[in-house]
Amino acid sequence: MMRLRSSLFACCGLLGLLFGMAVFLHGFFPSPLKSFGSAKAKVSEIPGEPALGLASNWTKLPSPLFGKVVIMLVDALREDFVFGPKGRQFMPYTRHMVEHGSSLNFIAKAWPPTVTMPRIKAMMTGRIPGFIDVVMNLNSPTLLEDNLIWQVKSAGKRIMFYGDDTWIRMFPDHFVEYDGTTSFFVSDYTEVDHNVTRHLDNVLKRSDWDLLILHYLGLDHIGHLAGPDSHLVGPKLNEMDNIVQKIHMELLSKQGETTLPSLLILCGDHGMSDTGSHGGASSHEVNTPLVLLSPAFRKKDSFTVSEYVEQTDLTSTLALGLGLPIPRNNLGCLILRVLEERSLREQFRYLHLNGYQLSKLVQESIPTYEKDVGYKLFGIAQKSHGSWIKLYFEGNTSETLANLGKKVLRQYLDALKLMSSSLSKIVAQYDMYSMIMGTIIVLEVILLLIVSTPDALGSTAEFEVPLSAAFYSLLFYLLCLMLTAIHIIVCTSTKTSCYFCNVSWLLVATVIVLISALQCVLISTLWKRLTNGKPQHKSCAAANSSWSELDLLLLLGTFGHTLSLGSSSFIEEEHQTWYFLTNTLLLVLFQDVCRKYFAANDLKSKQSKNPEDDDCHEQQTAIHGLFETSSCDQKDDTSKGYTYSGESYEKWLTLLSPWIILVFCRVLRSLNQTGIKWAHKPDFGHWLTSSSHRTELSILAAVSLFLIFILVQRTCSTVSKAALALGLVGIYCYRAAIGNLTFPWNPDKHISKGIIEARFVYVFILGILFTGVKDLLKSAFAFPDTTTNSRGLWEMYNGLVLLAALLLRPHNLPVLLFILVVQLILTKFIWRILDYDAAQITIIYYWFGQASFYFQGNSNSIATVDVSAGFVGFENYVELPAVFLTLFSTYIGPLLWAVHLTCYMSSERNRYSAAVGHSCYCLVLLRAIPASVYIILVTSLRYHLFVWSVFSPKLLYESMHTLVTAAACVMFTAMDQKRMITILKK
């Protein structure tokens, strides 16, 4: 037997849950390096033309179709920006070429996640990137897979690149000349494009290049700043149109010098949603224009509705067009329209090459490839192709040749489509074995947590974990053996490359032991609970089983929210759920306050009449009543003896406070419109960030920072007060330096990265955190008293607030202000008057944390993660701080509420005994329940249409949230530990 405090137990539980989730995630997200190595396609492996019996003379790669190729990639170029009314208005030249020039135009569908790096990867490798690539988007490692750029380079051609430096990080040493611009300073949308265009005149005059890639970021930045309907879009499209015209004219004028026709490709990597962001799967984000301009194409006489192609189709088309082998992992199909001016034999030759590459890939990645419909059809098509060639060589020009030709063409196209689609399904294949193992761990942890809730929320907040008993039991060893056997059977029987079969034996052993141990602990705990029988307070529970409205709402809200995760719309609009719940919560709080003040006189007489009933009520708070335990929070007598006749001023303030919070919530709700359904609605955030309202934003930020100082300095020591003030001033200077805000005396400062200012603030943040840690250590070891301890905790909290103020965008500073104001109101007024227990307070804190998360503009889509926070104070990308800062800035709301809960609970220790342990346990339960239910839901919904666009991002958000909560819980546990030490020393 092992006695554990509930906070430590909860913390261990959460860590176990996190481990289980990690195993699950590895199975759920196909790892990008799992199935595709870094092998490259070689020219020597090119198949010859299939010719039945005859030896075809065409065994080499076909010669290139195009000479100079220019890829002009305009980031976030939406389909209707070219083909829609905006295109007609702002891109006259392109539109003219599309309608009457020798051009081909398509709508290229980008697969979600519609984020730049995965899209570039998709276009260059032809493979649909796994979802995990989005996470890798942050540090864009070198692309090792076979790709177009590598093929072009190894064919001895010269590539030049100007634009987004993601390319340079992905393809280092591939470009003979390049100039990268960083995409993280979103507020700048002119300079990024000038940086690209200024090279153009020089480059176009020269002829020492074969492939020119231009990646324009300005439009994407405008989208993020002001949305697709802003007045900035028009001029930007016009600028892009002029560049198209310039390049096209220049290419045409050079046409006489070379034999091969040139090609200009205008495309977008992804679209732009109606709010201007991207990452999701809405049609505006997915549909991008693809315009090919080349003298090789037939001149058009009328504008036809563009046909749909996949974005990956560009890879094989371009590779064959340049006379190169198709990248090995390409899933795209050749766009046949490019070849419409060519002879049938050539068309067949290209289709065959593409089909051959796809069939090779099918052979490698599908174990039962012989049964694949596309693969079989390709075999048939190859045969028909052979007989067509035979007829062709025989000089047959009759009807049969034409008919056979049509048949071959159709068969090839169908085979390509089928093989491509069955391959893209492979990408989305789940590793069920790891998923099941992860789910088992998660389920065991959550069950254990739920089963031991009555003990954990008991008066001592301690309980016994039958750990040693578990290890000595036979069941444990039997389970271990059984799981090992299953592991061996699973990993040897199928050919599937399970992630779990490839990891080291140590990890597998850990998982197996963990699962068996948890199972044994769970069973013995359950056994203990069943044999111990019901606690003696049952009569009390029966007598006073009515729950207050608050308890009802808290339970209903928690479970309702958990259930709502099964619906994709409720995940997309999760912020609505939380706003709705917090609103109702505040109304219930108001009702409780009212009852306390107005109905107090009636109740007083009633309570004095029936003291036993009263006693029962004290003991039986509803959350505990749920698990039939006795409540333990011995509330301080001062709170009970609160005099209602007290100052009416405070009474009215208390009555008013829920309404103040409600109004604040309503204002913040319209600060950032998130989600999908109402995301296009105008909000204050966009209004404030538009460049014409910089003054208003500056005033707002200054006022917010000042108020933050007023609110935070109450709990500061003098030294950290000064540090805080300087830090907040530094934050304003930083925002002014990077151009978000203005100084009234210096409105047109030039924009810098604000490195010095940000580092200046970091110094103060670290200073305050250091003071806090020092105090905590002092209280733990040197002078064991609670005041130093709580002072240290508050210092830590204040340091985190300062960090949050630095990382939040200026228009989101009111969210931080809201968090501080609500925390002040709750602790100063509500908790003092209403005797809530630790569990209720924890749930309320959790709800506010969730609401703050969405107030900040977050959502369950990857698109809303503010990556720029990772670069505050850094010259360029440094992985560890960038990840930490981005994570922190995303979870500011939940984290600050959790940390405040720790501070509050440990400073009110004499009021709520054992409350730290209780609230920690409740926090863990609150996080673990939705996380584990979501894992089961997502497993059952893994073939849902929205799994990649809605459910997967949510899964990532859930696991990140669990990670953040685990961090907060470790702090909690440390605080609880302190208490034990303090008591021991006394």
Partner 1 sequence: MRDIELRGMFSAHIILVLSIVFSTLVPSLFLDEFSVTGTHLLWLCVCSATVSAVTIVLYLLLETNPTSSKKNSPSSKVTKIFRSCLLFFISCVIFHGILVLYGAPLLVSFRETFMFAVLLSTFTTLRCLCMLGPNVQAWIRVFSKNGAMSIWDTSLQITTICSLFGAWLGAIPIPLDWDRPWQVWPISCTLGATLGFTISLVIAPLWIYWHKKHLTYKCR
The whole-angstrom separation of Cα 464 and Cα 2 is: 5
372 binds Zn ion (CB under 5 A): no
Binds partner 1 (CB under 8 A): choice among 587, 824, 960, 974: 587
Cβ at position 76, least distance to Zn ion in Å? 5
* Of 151, 92, 124, residue with least CA distance to 267: 124
Binds partner 1 (CB under 8 A): choice among 3, 60, 410, 677: 677
The whole-angstrom separation of Cα 167 and Cα 194 is: 18
Residue range at the interface with partner 1 (CB under 8 A); choices 54-62, 142-150, 327-335, 673-681:
673-681
220 binds Zn ion (CB under 5 A): yes
Tokens of 289: 């224009």
604 binds partner 1 (CB under 8 A): no
For partner 1, give the closer residue by CB, 495 or 609.
609
666 binds partner 1 (CB under 8 A): yes
* Of 572, 558, 473, residue with least CA distance to 521: 473
The entry of Zn ion, partner 1, none near residue 726 (CB within 5 to 8 angstroms by kind) is none
Residue range at the interface with partner 1 (CB under 8 A); choices 70-78, 662-670, 780-788, 804-812:
662-670
The entry of partner 1, Zn ion, none near residue 665 (CB within 5 to 8 angstroms by kind) is partner 1
Distances (CA, A) of 324 to 154, 212, 253, 265, 328: 10, 16, 26, 18, 12
Cβ at position 278, least distance to Zn ion in Å? 6
116 binds Zn ion (CB under 5 A): yes
853 binds partner 1 (CB under 8 A): no
3-state secondary structure 596-632: HHHCHHHHHHHHHHCHHHHHHHHHCCHHHHHCCCCCC
Beta strands in 820-866 (DSSP E): none
The whole-angstrom separation of Cα 775 and Cα 171 is: 50
The entry of partner 1, Zn ion, none near residue 75 (CB within 5 to 8 angstroms by kind) is Zn ion
- Give just the sign of the alpha carbon dihedral 795, 798, 802, 807: positive
665 binds partner 1 (CB under 8 A): yes
* Other C-beta atoms lying within 10 Å of the C-beta of residue 151: 24
List of residues 6+ apart from 534 with CB closer than 8 A: 628
The whole-angstrom separation of Cα 556 and Cα 772 is: 38
Cβ at position 607, least distance to partner 1 in Å? 11
List of residues 6+ apart from 775 with CB closer than 8 A: 788, 789, 791, 792, 795
Asked if residues 860 and 275 have their Cβ atoms less than 8 Å apart, the reply is no
For partner 1, give the closer residue by CB, 496 or 583.
583
SS3 746: strand
Quick note: the x/- pattern for Zn ion over 646-675, rule CB under 5 A, is ------------------------------
Q: Which of residues 43-82 bind Zn ion (CB under 5 A)?
A: 75
599 binds partner 1 (CB under 8 A): yes
543 binds partner 1 (CB under 8 A): no
Binds Zn ion (CB under 5 A): choice among 269, 310, 444, 455: 269
Q: What is the DSSP letter of 437?
A: H
For Zn ion, give the closer residue by CB, 75 or 976.
75
Residue range at the interface with partner 1 (CB under 8 A); choices 60-68, 459-467, 671-679, 907-915:
671-679
The entry of partner 1, Zn ion, none near residue 573 (CB within 5 to 8 angstroms by kind) is partner 1
The entry of Zn ion, partner 1, none near residue 269 (CB within 5 to 8 angstroms by kind) is Zn ion
Report long-range pairs for 958-962 (Cβ below 8 Å, ≥24 apart): 958/21, 958/930, 958/931, 958/934, 959/18, 959/21, 959/22, 959/25, 959/931, 960/887, 960/890, 960/891, 961/891, 961/894, 961/927, 961/931, 962/14, 962/17, 962/18, 962/21, 962/927, 962/928, 962/931
Question: How does strand 462-465 pair with strand 2-5?
Answer: antiparallel
3-state secondary structure 179-212: EEECCCCCCCCCHHHHHHHCCHHHHHHCCCCCEE
Cβ at position 546, least distance to partner 1 in Å? 9
Q: How many residues of this chain bind Zn ion (CB under 5 A)?
A: 4
For Zn ion, give the closer residue by CB, 275 or 357.
275
Question: How does strand 103-109 pair with strand 307-310?
Answer: parallel
Binds partner 1 (CB under 8 A): choice among 162, 178, 412, 579: 579
Cβ at position 573, least distance to partner 1 in Å? 4
Dmax over Cα atoms in the chain, in whole Å?
A: 113
Amino acid at 625: G
Q: How many residues of this chain bind partner 1 (CB under 8 A)?
A: 27
Q: Which of residues 548-577 bind partner 1 (CB under 8 A)?
A: 567-570, 572-573, 576-577
Distances (CA, A) of 679 to 672, 682, 812: 9, 8, 17
Q: Which of residues 798-817 bind partner 1 (CB under 8 A)?
A: none
Cβ at position 453, least distance to partner 1 in Å? 28
Q: Which residue has the tokens 């939406």?
A: 78
For Zn ion, give the closer residue by CB, 163 or 917.
163
812 binds Zn ion (CB under 5 A): no
Amino acid at 183: S
Cβ at position 560, least distance to partner 1 in Å? 8
Binds partner 1 (CB under 8 A): choice among 513, 555, 626, 662: 662
The entry of partner 1, Zn ion, none near residue 669 (CB within 5 to 8 angstroms by kind) is partner 1
Number of residues in the chain:
986
The entry of Zn ion, partner 1, none near residue 220 (CB within 5 to 8 angstroms by kind) is Zn ion
Residue range at the interface with Zn ion (CB under 5 A); choices 216-224, 503-511, 590-598, 967-975:
216-224
Burial of residue 156 (CB within 10 Å: 0-12, 13-18, 19+) is: exposed
Cβ at position 282, least distance to partner 1 in Å? 11
For partner 1, give the closer residue by CB, 35 or 583.
583
Binds partner 1 (CB under 8 A): choice among 224, 669, 686, 900: 669
Residue numbers of the site for Zn ion (CB under 5 A)?
Answer: 75, 116, 220, 269
Residue numbers of the site for partner 1 (CB under 8 A)?
Answer: 567-570, 572-573, 576-577, 579-580, 583-584, 587, 595, 598-599, 602-603, 606, 662-663, 665-666, 669, 675-677
